[in-house]
Structure 1
Amino acid sequence: MVHDNKTWPRVQPDLPAPLRYGRWSDEVLSEFQTAYEQAYRDQRPVEPHTAEAWERLTASDSFATDLATLAVAPDGQVAGFALGFIQDHGGIELGPIGTIPAWRTRGISSALLASVLLLCRETRSGPITLTVDGESPTRAQHLYLLHGFQVTQRLTTHQLRLP
C-alpha cells in the first residue's frame, strides 16, 4: 500500500488512558519484543525475531528512530507500536504496526499511525508505503485505507504444511 500524500491527520490523537506516547530511545527493547510477539500471535505466521535480530534491525541505518512510536502503559508495558524503515530511494516503509490483544479496539493503532504520519509529513519527502495482510483478523487493511493508503499491489502466498 502507498499513502496518497493528501490524507493527513490534523492533530496527534490522544491515546486512551492510562497510556502515553513513547519514543524508541525511551523504552526497553525486551518490552517491545514482548508486545510484538503478542500482537502477531493470532495472525498468519509471522517470522519470529530474536532479541539479537531486533537489536540488529534497530541499530541499522535504515531504522527510522525518529518515527518509532510506542503506546506505553504506566508499568512500562508496550501496548502498541508503529515502526518505520528508510528505503534506498528515500521513502519510508512503515511496519511493523500492532497492538497487543488486551488493548485492541480502543484506537491505539489508529493513534500511533496518525502520529507517525504527522512525523513523516514534517520530516520526510519520499513515498510512505506499508505491507499488510489483507486477511488479517484485526482488519488492519481497513485502518490503513482510512488513513489515506491505497492498495497498489496484491500478493498471494501459499503455505504447505509438511508432516
Structure 2
Amino acid sequence: MEVLQIGLPADETVGDVRFERAYPVWTMTHDGISWPEREPELVAPLEYCGADDLPRDFQHAYEQAYRDQRLVEPRNSWDRSPDQGALAVTPDGQVAGFVLGFSQPDGSIELGPIGTVPTWRGRGVCTALLATVLYRSRGLHLHLTVDGESPTRAHELYLRHGFRITERLVRYEVQLS
C-alpha cells in the first residue's frame, strides 16, 4: 500500500477527512553568528573522515541511523558527493555518525542526512560532527529540515548549535489503495 503525504503550514489544516496528521516538519537555518571556535575532538576511538569520498559501508550506517526515523526517503545510491560534511569512523573503518551537506544553486548548503548509528548515540558523536561542519562552513548560509517530533530529539541539537526554526509545516498522509 502506498502513502500520499502533503505538507501544510502549521496553522492550516487539510480539508479532506481522509488525511491524517502525521508529524511536524521544521525548516531550520543557522543564525550565522554562533560558530564554534575550533573543531571538537571525537570520543575515542572514533576518528574523522572526510565526506568527499563516502566509505563503502556508508549505506549500512545510513540505514541503521534512520531505521527509527519518519522523515527519510529510502536511498540506495548517492547521485553526488557532499560538498561539506564530516564522518566519524571506528578504527576498522565503520561509520558511526555523519553530517553531510550539499551545495544549492543559491550558494547555500543544505545539511542532511545527519545521523548516528544507534550503538554510538548519546556519546556526543553528532554534536562533534555538526560543530565540525559549522566550523568549516563559517560564513556560509546553512539550512536543514527536521522532524519536529523526532525520537532522537535532533531539533534540540540544532537549536543548541545556533539554528533557528524558519518554517513549521505539518505532514498529513492518506493511505492509497
In the alignment, which residue of structure 1 is the partner of 2:156? 142
TM-score (norm 1): 0.86
Specify the alignment match of 2:34 in structure 1: 7
Q: Which has the higher helix share?
A: 1
1:71-86 to 2 correspondence within 5 Å?
71-86=88-103
Identity of aligned residues (%): 57
Specify every segment of 5 or more residues in structure 1 that has no aligned partner in the other structure, as ranges.
none
CA contact (8 A) 1:20 1:73 kept: yes
Deviations 1:35-94 (A, max 9, x none): 1100000011521111xx31x232xxxx30xx2210000111100001001111101111
SS in 1 for 2:147: coil
Q: Find out whether 1:49 has 2:75 as its counterpart.
A: yes
Deviations for 1:24-44, whole angstroms, at most 9, x for unmatched residues?
A: 24652x311111100000011
8 Å CA contact retained: 1:19, 1:71: yes
Match of 1:18 in 2: 45
Distance 1:26 1:91, change over 3 A: closer
Q: Which has the higher strand share?
A: 2
Per chain length, whose mean CA-contact separation is higher, i.e. which structure has more relative contact order (CA < 8 Å, sep 6+)?
2
Q: Alpha carbons of 1:45 and 1:96: their partners in 2 closer, same or farther (altered >3 Å)? A: closer
Residue 66 of structure 2 corresponds to 40
TM-score, normalised by the number of residues in structure 2: 0.80
Conserved 8 A contact 1:2-1:128:
yes
Aligned length: 150
| Cα pair 1:3 1:148 within 8 Å, conserved | yes
Consecutive unaligned residues of structure 2, counting only runs of 5 or more, are 1-27
Amino acid paired to 1:24: A
Contact preservation (8 Å) 1:71, 1:79: yes
Query: In structure 2, what is the equivalent of residue 90 of structure 1?
Result: 107
